[in-house]
Structure 1
Amino acid sequence: MSLISFDVEKCTACGICSMTCPINIIMPGEKGAPSLPIEYEAFCTHCGHCEAICPTNAIMVSYQSFPPEDDNASIEQTNPEQLKKYIQSRRSIRVFKDKSVEKEKIKDLFEAVRFAPSGMNGQPVKWLVVTDSSEIKKFADLTIDWMRMMAEKDADHPLKRYFPVLVALADAGFDPICRNSPGLVYAYSENASGYTDSIIALTTFDLIAPSFGLGTCWVGLLHRAAVEYQPLKEALGIPAGFVLQFPMLFGYPKYKYRKIPGRKKADILWR
């Protein structure tokens, strides 16, 4: 069976699938349906552009994919003013309710996140999802242990000036790293080239989370510690051979933000 097939009864030979194919491997038909030559099948990224854009639903794919239950695209229905306000209202949350996030809600959130774009549709991002608050606290404690070690070991560490304050807060019973968060997601991939795709996916997670009633916070200090401190990396339990990309906290915000604070104007170089 062909990787991509065309229903000749439905196809109008409009050529749109050929024009929008990112790899330009769909050959337009001179008098009939287009085709994907078998020698080009290995170059197909399984992106689904051809299937998604066909105006007569004449394209079928044989590779495995998992579309949403409702696969009708409706991006043009998004109100730009509402979406702009939604993005402007997004905040980093550092005080969470003492409440676990339901597993079904997390899975539903990932139904959006899994559609985040990736280079050549490689979809390299894998996820560690931690909802055990005691495990998250252990990661935070190990990050503090790393700071104690680095404060003595590396006088030139670029983050050293932050260590005394954060260690003091931890010693006083606070959690300045993971903020007593009830949830943590850590993006990882098979190689370092998955970094950009991971950040795109995490940004998607970050932006959609408030619509689920959740707040998020990027955790750069935890990531720096995980990269440099083997005990923390082992505690995370990422499979051998995989690369940690970046973590994010999530949970129900304890407080509600009422205003949108100012930001710099966009620094744009017009051409």
Structure 2
Amino acid sequence: MSLISFDAGKCTACGICSMICPENIIMPGESGVPSVPAEYEAFCAHCGHCEAVCPGSAITSSYQAFPPEDDTADTGQVSPDVLTKYVQSRRSIRVFKDMPVEKEKIEAIFEAVRFAPSGMNMQPVKWLVITDAAEINKLAKLTIDWMRMMAETGTDHPLKPFFPALVALADAGLEPICRNAPGLVYAYSENAFGFTDSIIALTTFDLMAPSFDLGTCWAGLLHLAAVESQPLKEALGIPKGYILQYPMLFGYPKYKYKKIPGRKTADIIWK
């Protein structure tokens, strides 16, 4: 079976599939019906764009793990002003309500996240989702243990000057690492090339969360320790051979923000 099939009875010979193919492997045929030469199939990105764009529904792919959606959103439903305010209103949440997040909400967010762009449409990002508050607190404690060790030894680290203060906060009963968040997602992938794709996917999670009344915070301090602390890596327990990419905290915000704080103007070089 061909990787991509073209139904001659439905094809209008419009050529759009050839024009939008990112790998330029769809060749127009003499009769107007396109095809993918067998020697080009290995270069297919499996993006599904040809099948999704075809006005006659004449294209079928054999690689799709899930069938394409029947329709797309009307982008005109969301005005630029509304979307701009939505993005500007996103805040890093560091104080959460003491209540769990429903699994259904998390799954609904991932329905959007799994469509986040990735290089060559490789979709390399995998996820560790933790909703056990005690487990998250354990990860925070292991992070503090690592910082304490780093502060007390001669090991160099660019952020080492900050470690004593963070350790002191933890010793005083505060939680400066995971902020007592009820939820944590950690992106991981099979190789280091998945970092950019992970950040894109996490940003999608970040932007989707407020639409479910949830808040998020990028857990940089946790990741700082996770890449170096073996006890922390073992506690996270991702499969052997995979690389931790970046974590994000999530939960219900305890407080609501009334205004959008100021930010620098965009620093742009126009050419």
TM-score, scaled relative to structure 1? 0.97
Question: Higher mean Cα deviation, 227-236 or 155-164?
Answer: 155-164
Please tell me whether residue 203 in structure 1 is matched to residue 203 in structure 2: yes
The alignment status of 1:65 with 2:56, answered yes or no, reads no
List per-residue Cα deviations over 1:161-203 (Å, max 9, x = no partner): 2112111111111110000000000000000010000000000
- 1:168 alignment counterpart: 168
Give 2:263's aligned amino acid.
R
Query: What is the alpha-carbon distance in structure 2 between the residues aligned to residue 67 and residue 207 of structure 1?
Result: 26
Q: Is the 8 A contact 2:188 2:245 kept in 1?
A: yes
Q: How many residues align?
A: 271
Q: Which residue of 1 aligns with 2:220?
A: 220
CA distance in 2, matches of 1:257, 1:79: 22
Q: Give the match's secondary structure for 1:260.
A: coil
Q: Sort the Cα spacing of 1:175 and 1:192 in 2 relative to 1 into closer, same or farther, 3 A.
A: same
Whether 1:26 and 2:26 are equivalent positions in the alignment is: yes
CA distance in 2 between counterparts of 1:154 and 1:122 reads 42
Residue 55 (structure 2) aligns with: 55
Match of 1:95 in 2: 95
1:246 matched to which residue of 2? 246
Deviation at residue 55 of structure 1 after TM alignment: 1.5
Secondary structure of 1:65's partner?
coil
**Post-superposition offset of 1:72:** 2.8
Q: Does the alignment pair 1:134 with 2:126? A: no
Alignment of 1:142-153 (within 5 A): 142-153=142-153
CA shift for structure 1 position 40: 1.2
Tell me if 1:232 matches 2:218.
Answer: no
* Partner deviation per Cα, 1:117-148 (whole Å, 9 max, x = no partner): 00000000000000000000000000000000
Q: Residue in 2 aligned with 1:260?
A: 260
Distance 2:21 2:69 in 1: 24
Identity of aligned residues (%): 77
Question: Which residue is 1:159 aligned to?
Answer: 159
Deviation at 1:66, TM superposition (A): 2.2
1:148 counterpart letter in structure 2: R
Give runs of ≥4 in structure 1 deviating > 4 Å: 67-70
Give the Cα–Cα distance (whole angstroms) in 1 for the partners of residues 75 and 189 of structure 2: 29
Q: Secondary structure at the match of 1:192?
A: coil
Task: Measure the CA separation in 2 of the matches of 1:154 and 1:17.
Answer: 60
Alignment-mate amino acid for residue 142 of structure 1: L
Q: Distance in 1 between matches of 2:153 and 2:20?
A: 55
RMSD (Å) for aligned C-alpha atoms: 1.3
CA drift at 1:5: 0.8
Aligned to 1:177: 177
Establish whether residue 106 from structure 1 lines up as the match of residue 106 from structure 2.
yes
Aligned-pair distance for 1:67? 4.8
- The one-letter amino acid paired with 1:37 is P
User: 1:236-267 CA deviation, whole Å, 9 max, x = no partner?
Assistant: 00111100000000000010011001100100
State how far apart, in whole Å, the 2-side matches of 1:97 and 1:190 are: 34
SS at match of 2:5: strand
Partner secondary structure for residue 193 of structure 2? helix
- Deviation of residue 31 (structure 1)? 2.4
Any idea what SS the aligned residue of 1:137 has?
helix
Instruction: Name the amino acid aligned to 1:209.
Output: A
Return the offset for 1:104: 1.1
TM-score normalised by length of structure 2 = 0.97
Q: Distance in 1 between matches of 2:224 and 2:75?
A: 37
Once residues 70 and 45 of structure 2 are traced to their aligned partners in structure 1, the CA distance between those partners, rounded to angstroms, is: 23
Q: Which amino acid aligns with 2:233?
A: K
Opposite residue 48 of structure 1, the aligned amino acid is G
